[in-house]
Chains A and B, each alone.
Chain A
Amino acid sequence: MTVLPVVRPEPRRVPRWVGSVGWAVVAWVVALAFFLPVLWMVITAFKPESAAETWPPKFIFTPTLAEFRLAVTGMSPFLIHSVLATAGSTILVLLLAVPAAYALSVYPVRRWRDGLFFFISTKMLPIVAAIGPLYVIALHTHLLDSIGLMIILYTAMNLPLAIWMIRSFMLEVPGELLEAARLDGAGRLREIGSVILPIIMPGLVSTALICVIFAWNELFLALNLTVTNAATMPMFLMSSVPQEGLYIAHLAAAATVASIPVILVGWMAQRSLVRGLSMGAIK
């Protein structure tokens, strides 16, 4: 543990705005460099295939939507499956997580700590370890390659996160409001419906957005447990890589289309992203 020698700062000679502009320049350069692969994906997507495979890479070309058009043909079943699996699992997550979070915060059950940690511990179990048996179970229950199976699994995947997150929002509901509702003789259902839910609504929205991000992007389970009837957007992306021939622009277009919904959702949810990702630990 060494302490730097304490030196009085020199009296300021450069004006303050110079430092501030310098900071901005550095931050912008770093951010743009970091963002470059995304930018390159989008740029490449607008290229004709012949302009995507050149050396040096082309930066000036006539943009075309041809590859987008090609990419989205045949995409609709995947898109529908993804929307159904994502929306279905997110709704189911909220239906299960709101009461559970309530039982772990407002009127807590006796061993609520154990409950909370049981939920989080399931996130630590590697699902990959059970993929073979999962396949066998799905086969025997006739759920293989069905949207229902994807909804069931994505719900289990996101539920712990949602419970922790919603609980953290419920803990912030002012106690006086609950007190007042109780004095008014409101039952517990009315307390949830007319006091708690309206207050935590923004929290529920951001929880839902986080669940959407994870469900939409999931590949491993979809790859192992679906074929055609429930294959999702990440699977569409995989299928867009041909075995031979030129495909870079085509791939970039498909990747852009597949990623855009979640990028937009994430941008909207920016404020609450950190809270969701830390399971409500950080406000």
Chain B
Amino acid sequence: MTVLEDLAAPRRDAEVVPLAVGRRERWLRRLPLLPALIYVVVVTQIPFVVTLWYSFQSYFWDQPGGAHFTGLSNYTTVFTNASFRGSLVRSVVMTAAAVIAAMILGVAFAVLLDRKFFGRGVVRTLIITPFLVMPAAAALVWAGPMLDPNFGLLNYLLAPFGIHHVAWLSVHALGSVIVVMIWQWTPFMTLIVLAGLQSQPPDTLEAAKVDGAGALATFRELTLPHLRPYIELGILLGSIYLVNTFDAVRLMTNGGPGTSTTNLPFYLYQQVNNAFDVGGAAAAGVVTVILTIIVATFALRMFARVFQFEEARG
């Protein structure tokens, strides 16, 4: 695992460790790690092993007889099934759109917050609050009080611009769900980018000012490159969470109209809860996990690089 070599080491005395320590010492060191390690292996890995097993079984909740082996037929179904592919594509689109938009807004908000002004603490608090609102509550509040076609606040605010009584969740369902995802994750991006802005060495900026560089040029030539690892970290972590978006889909549109907002998590949920197809869902799950591992391999590499940077700096 060469990727991992990039991560900064713990400090000093820890460095002397590896070969010099005896067998007893090695176990003394390992002992505190074991409970957590065993716990995570048991709780997170076993379900996936069972998933793998069920992916080769035909198993429907609503049919008697339990599970029986069907070979690769679940997988053939997954690969020939347009709704799986559709939900996969929708997952990618929703995640990418939400992460990118949230990051752009996040950079803008962070720049606003990076300067001293009256009530900065309160403004910061207001901006992070959407992240703290229970996602289920956010989804329901957006679906009802905010976006309702007949008495929603958004239609009222847009009326002066000639937009009247739009049924957002029917006409722009995907967009509406993405807006809520952006709304909830912009604070996260803001905080990470703000940390980056505040770690910028002031003397570099000072020097740029003395050299007569404009604010925009300074931002593009100095600040953005400095922010890069922070932006990468935000995009990476945001994607990990957002790709699993379920609450907003389930509570705002229930995957519809049609399947227009059915992403992968919601599709898998439907397979188990409405189609009662445990085997099919398991096969789709296995494919999802394999795709995730491919993406995660790159993600972990990026993660290691960002951490190396941060720890070297700190």
Chains A and B are bound partners: yes
Indicate if the CB atoms of A137 and B46 lie closer than 8 Å.
yes
The docked-state distance in angstroms from the alpha carbon of A279 to that of B310 is 12
Contacts of A153 in B (CB 8 A): 43
The docked-state distance in angstroms from the alpha carbon of A126 to that of B17 is 35
Instruction: Give 1 or 0 for each of B103-147: 1 = CB within 8 Å of chain A CB.
Output: 000000100110111111011111111111111111011101110
Indicate if the CB atoms of B126 and A282 lie closer than 8 Å.
no
Contacts of A126 in B (CB 8 A): 243-244, 264-265, 285, 288-289, 292
A116 at the interface (CB under 8 A from B): yes
A207 at the interface (CB under 8 A from B): no
Contacts of A121 in B (CB 8 A): 296, 300
In the complex, how many angstroms separate the beta carbon of A277 from the nearest chain B beta carbon? 6
A122 at the interface (CB under 8 A from B): yes
Indicate if the CB atoms of B11 and A57 lie closer than 8 Å.
no
Nearest A-chain residue to B5, judged by Cβ: A113
Instruction: Give 1 or 0 for each of A173-192: 1 = CB within 8 Å of chain B CB.
Output: 00100110000000010000
Indicate if the CB atoms of A124 and B212 lie closer than 8 Å.
no
Q: Which of B141, B194, B307 contacts A274 (CB 8 A)?
A: B194
Chain A contact surface mostly: helix
A30 at the interface (CB under 8 A from B): yes
Indicate if the CB atoms of B141 and A255 lie closer than 8 Å.
yes
The docked-state distance in angstroms from the alpha carbon of A4 to that of B43 is 55
Chain B contact surface mostly: helix
B312 at the interface (CB under 8 A from A): no
In the complex, how many angstroms separate the beta carbon of A261 from the nearest chain B beta carbon? 9
Q: Which of A270, A282, A283 contacts B230 (CB 8 A)?
A: A282
B7 at the interface (CB under 8 A from A): yes
Indicate if the CB atoms of B134 and A6 lie closer than 8 Å.
no
Indicate if the CB atoms of B217 and A132 lie closer than 8 Å.
no
- Size category of the A interface is 35 or more
Indicate if the CB atoms of A136 and B50 lie closer than 8 Å.
yes
Indicate if the CB atoms of A217 and B273 lie closer than 8 Å.
no
Contacts of A163 in B (CB 8 A): 36
The docked-state distance in angstroms from the alpha carbon of A48 to that of B216 is 50
CB contact under 8 A between A24 and B117, given known A122-B40, A132-B272 = yes
Q: Which of A44, A109, A262 contacts B134 (CB 8 A)?
A: A262
CB contact under 8 A between A248 and B286, given known A105-B10, A171-B11, A238-B251 = no
In the complex, how many angstroms separate the beta carbon of B184 from the nearest chain A beta carbon? 10
Indicate if the CB atoms of A52 and B141 lie closer than 8 Å.
no
Indicate if the CB atoms of A108 and B14 lie closer than 8 Å.
yes
In the complex, how many angstroms separate the beta carbon of B266 from the nearest chain A beta carbon? 9
Q: Which of A110, A259, A282 has the most CB of B within 10 A?
A: A282
Indicate if the CB atoms of B310 and A237 lie closer than 8 Å.
no
Indicate if the CB atoms of A35 and B214 lie closer than 8 Å.
no
Contacts of A11 in B (CB 8 A): none
Nearest A-chain residue to B55, judged by Cβ: A133
B211 at the interface (CB under 8 A from A): yes
Instruction: Give 1 or 0 for each of B79-95: 1 = CB within 8 Å of chain A CB.
Output: 00000000000000000
A40 at the interface (CB under 8 A from B): yes
Q: Which of B37, B144, B304 has the most CB of A within 10 A?
A: B144
Nearest B-chain residue to A24, judged by Cβ: B117
Indicate if the CB atoms of B36 and A259 lie closer than 8 Å.
no
In the complex, how many angstroms separate the beta carbon of A146 from the nearest chain B beta carbon? 15
The docked-state distance in angstroms from the alpha carbon of A265 to that of B136 is 18
B207 at the interface (CB under 8 A from A): no
Q: Can you identify 9 A-B contacts, CB atoms within 8 angstroms?
A: A24-B119, A34-B127, A38-B130, A53-B150, A105-B14, A122-B45, A136-B278, A171-B10, A259-B132
Residues of B within 8 A of A (CB): 1, 3-5, 7, 10-14, 17-18, 26, 28-33, 35-37, 39-40, 43-48, 50-51, 53-54, 109, 112-113, 115-120, 122-138, 140-142, 144-146, 148, 150-153, 156, 159, 183, 186, 188, 191-192, 194-196, 211-214, 216-217, 220-221, 230, 233, 237, 240, 243-244, 246-247, 250-251, 264-265, 268-269, 271-273, 278, 281-282, 284-286, 288-289, 292-293, 295-296, 299-300, 303-304, 306-307, 310, 314
6 closest Cβ pairs, A-B complex: A129-B285, A99-B32, A100-B36, A266-B132, A103-B33, A255-B137
